[in-house]
Structure 1
């Protein structure tokens, strides 16, 4: 069970995981050694799964976001594994979700430009049959927060 200090640590680490333990400890009113032990426990308990660097997409030459909704006539376990493998082979697809409703999947794709989407589309349809594919170009990112709320755990 998480207490208020655990939640504060998780919240701060989500905003900047590169912060020094001494500084983090001061922010949550712990000694550096107690703070380090809590972080180790949170990692061991699976609250912290990994620490990563977040890159600037524009500086990396990937300013364009395309959301692609996919409908398929196939729902077998074998097809799903082929779909997972196809997604894994395309690094520009940074998120994929299975959905309820009118479509089966939604993909978030980052690209250098809209024209590059055609290459991604061709990679997918060459790998497996898709019933319907629709692409939606993001005009503006209105909210992009990666930190999770820490009040539910």
Structure 2
């Protein structure tokens, strides 16, 4: 965890909203010189705070109208099965998120699909690549929040405590 001051938080917040914001515009907004602002951003990149910059595309505009959350119970828990399963899932481009879980479900996969027929194709493809004990899928009916923005910490004040 890094210690962030108020200016750091403002810079990161601005970049999360729009990565195309110029360094000059960010510097003006946070009250730094362009060079000082650039150095902070470069430091965030060097430390891995900023992993990359992307363009967010509206999934519906590309024909992806169905979001599926696929819960998987593993057929076994060997390293070989886990690696085979991981490779199978990662080879499917419609998978946009993929996690191993604790609890009664072993994995959850978030999939963007055009329609229910697309889900059937995804399901057949996945189950043809690896043996699975149980699959349970939920489909999103309404979307209330969809963001890639990370909640930013409260900045530290001069005494080192949260402002």
* Structure-2-length-normalised TM-score: 0.89
Runs of 4 or more consecutive aligned structure 1 residues displaced over 3 Å after TM superposition: none
CA shift for structure 1 position 122: 0.8
Query: Which ranges of structure 2 fall in alignment gaps of 5 or more residues?
Result: 156-163
Task: Find the counterpart in structure 2 of residue 148 from structure 1.
Answer: 150
Task: Find the counterpart in structure 2 of residue 56 from structure 1.
Answer: 58
Query: Which ranges of structure 1 fall in alignment gaps of 5 or more residues?
Result: none
Q: In the aligned structure 2, how far is the partner of 1:38 from the partner of 1:104?
A: 40
Q: In the aligned structure 2, how far is the partner of 1:126 from the partner of 1:152?
A: 47
Task: Find the counterpart in structure 2 of residue 110 from structure 1.
Answer: 112
Cα RMSD for the two superposed structures: 1.3
1:126 pairs, out of 125, 128, 146, with 128
CA shift for structure 1 position 152: 6.5
Task: Find the counterpart in structure 2 of residue 29 from structure 1.
Answer: 31
Counterpart of 2:108 in 1: which secondary structure? Answer: strand
CA shift for structure 1 position 28: 1.0
Q: Figure out how many residues of one structure are paired with residues of the other and give that number.
A: 153
Q: In the aligned structure 1, how far is the partner of 2:81 from the partner of 2:154?
A: 35
Counterpart of 1:131 in 2: which secondary structure? Answer: strand
Q: In the aligned structure 1, how far is the partner of 2:144 from the partner of 2:116?
A: 19
Counterpart of 1:140 in 2: which secondary structure? Answer: coil
Superposed CA deviations along residues 83-140 of structure 1, whole A, max 9, x for unmatched, are 1111111000100111122211111000111111011111111111100001111101
Task: Find the counterpart in structure 2 of residue 20 from structure 1.
Answer: 22
Task: Find the counterpart in structure 1 of residue 40 from structure 2.
Answer: 38
Counterpart of 1:59 in 2: which secondary structure? Answer: helix
1:61-140 equivalences under 5 Å are: 61-140=63-142
* Structure-1-length-normalised TM-score: 0.95
Q: In the aligned structure 1, how far is the partner of 2:86 from the partner of 2:27?
A: 41
